[in-house]
Amino acid sequence: MTNNKHVLSWIEEMKALVKPANVVWIDGSEEQLKQIRAESEAKGEMIKLNEEKLPGCYLHRTAINDVARVEHRTFICSRKQEDAGPTNNWMDPKEAYEKLGKLFDGVMKDRTMYVIPYCMGPIGSPLAKIGIELTDSTYVVLNMDIMTRMGKPALDMLGDSNDFVRGLHSKADIDEENRYICHFPEDNAIWSINSGYGGNVLLGKKCFALRIASYQGKNEGWMAEHMLILGLENPKGEVKYIAAAFPSACGKTNLAMLIPPEVYQKKGYKVWTVGDDIAWIRIGADGRLWAINPENGFFGVAPGTNMKSNPNALLSTKKGTIFTNVVHNLEDNTVWWEGLDKNPPKNAINWKGEKWDSASGEKGAHPNSRFTAPAKNCPCISSEFESKQGVPLSAIVFGGRRAKTAPLVYQSLSWQHGVFVGSIMASETTAAATGAVGVVRRDPMAMLPFCGYHMGDYFKHWLEIGEKLGDKAPKIFNVNWFRTDDEGHFIWPGYGDNMRVLEWIINRCEGKADAVETPIGYEPKAEDINLEGLDINLDTLKGLLGVDVNLWKEEAKGIHEFYGKFGDKLPAALKTELANLEKRLG
């Protein structure tokens, strides 16, 4: 399939290590994929679902000890520990290659090694990058087909170049004690062993698209960010694009696929999805920031996804989708999960493969059960989804889950202040996350688990990008959909009504809306947020926009403590921004 000597010599080296029984190159053809699906089904790795109701869909179950990303077994293996920074687990690359080398030695001796060439981003885009993953898992092959542009076109795009990410994966024995996901940023390599679950094994996803790509971006002058990309179309047919970063459980996919409230729909407003998870962002020839979604599918959390919470996501799963760790409804050979509807199946198998009855009180689907769905299925997929140059960004939005501190929306005073706002992003833990409720967890730019190098250098990179952009920089905002009243109820309705806030954001970017300066940044005048058709009055909205100076003084103390982690790598500009905030708070 290729004469690229870098590719061929690396594959020979890996073959000598894992000693596969045979090797299959994945060309991406439907004919070959059909064969792999059939093999996977025959082995019991995949269960074919109801062809009439869910055409081309399959169910997969992972091992019970292998159901989520494993942060404590995920390492950045940079040559110097300092380069990994205080927020990553570090392992010396020599030690990592030696330790994992022993685990990989002969691991595929009675297995097939699949060679998966894939492209992150549209084929032929100057913003796209190539990876090759070697794996013994048909689950990986079939998911990578949905999540990336996989097969021969990726190799053709690579040509003779040596610029590709080398991924090696084996399920091995799915042994928790020997599970490792190691990233070698200086070698453009990822090694993953003893897992068969999503984010640990689909190496194009968080491993390449964020951890390795963030390092590449720092060296090559671009950004790999944990951000959705959406297009907001006004009644004149003009579309403006927003990239937004949220920690998990803050409604990222829901915002990416937002359905405008009826009052907006009637006027002709629309929202288009470019991406729901990752954005690769570069400065274009016109000096503005342009973004692509490097992925080709959605790897979404199933529980809670329904026709009310996110109809576009649910409709995306209706064909060609792989469901992982959900309930198998034996009545009609379909799938079910908690929060899908109020009719759990009577005759069903749970995510562990056991007979299941909803009356047992046990959940049928794993809380982190997933769907891998082709992006092209999404009813609101953007016409720019395959655009090689990407989309120009008007705004960057950060958000978190705060009960009292952060207002509904505010705008940063400048790009530098915006980097500060992103660097202090935080959410309060909910009962679901841990035993402790209301603990503030910092997650700068929602990148804490995904930055492939020292976070202090990452902040510096953001500041440098801003200097290059000058007055062409997108405006930066912070939102909080999660303000609560004294009884703990959410005040803002969220979901589609977040459109009302996005409208103000775009109006600010276009100089069409006014703002009030507060100690934390620019805020809307309450009357500039459209409340038409909402059961919220102006006074409630003013409360949602309130800035409690005492809470923010407490917040500043927490920021000092968090910044202390980064030592002398923390950019001086961020120290200045914190001092300025404290000055404004008085």
Question: Angle, to 10 degrees, between the axis of helix 415-423 and the axis of helix 572-585?
Answer: 90
| Residues that constitute the known binding site | 69, 197-199, 206, 226, 248-254, 277, 368-370, 401, 495-498
Place of tokens 């999503």: 198
At residue 193, the 3 state secondary structure works out as: strand
Element holding 142 (H helix, E strand): helix 138-147
Q: What is the CB-side half-sphere exposure of residue 195 using CA atoms within 13 A?
A: 23
What's the maximum distance between 2 C-alpha atoms anywhere in the chain?
Answer: 70
Place of tokens 């053809």: 29
Residue 210 tokens read as 């964020």
Q: How far apart are CA 311 and CA 304, in angstroms?
A: 11
Q: How far apart are CA 476 and CA 356, in angstroms?
A: 48
Known catalytic residue: 451? no
Place of tokens 């060296």: 219
Task: State the CB neighbour count (10 A cutoff) for residue 287.
Answer: 12
Among 401, 378, 451, CA closest to 86 = 451
Cα distances (Å, whole numbers) of residue 488 to 430, 433, 437:
11, 17, 12
Strand intervals (E) in 446-531: 475-479, 516-518, 521-523
Q: How far apart are CA 232 and CA 384, in angstroms?
A: 12
Q: How far apart are CA 275 and CA 52, in angstroms?
A: 28
Strands 22-25, 112-120: parallel, antiparallel or unpaired by DSSP?
parallel
Cα distances (Å, whole numbers) of residue 60 to 205, 324, 350:
19, 5, 12
Place of tokens 């705060």: 402
Dihedral, 361, 367, 369, 371 alpha carbons, nearest 10: 110
Q: Is 304 exposed, middle or buried (0-12, 13-18, 19+ CB in 10 A)?
A: middle
Q: How far apart are CA 348 and CA 356, in angstroms?
A: 5
Contact present, 559 and 565 (Cβ < 8 Å): no
Q: Which of 77, 182, 250, 378 is catalytic?
A: 250
| Residues that constitute the known binding site for GTP | 249-254, 370, 401, 495-498
Residue 165 φ then ψ, to 5°: -90, 125
Residue 475 tokens read as 């405006």
Q: What is the CB-side half-sphere exposure of residue 6 using CA atoms within 13 A?
A: 14
Indicate which residues carry an active-site annotation.
250
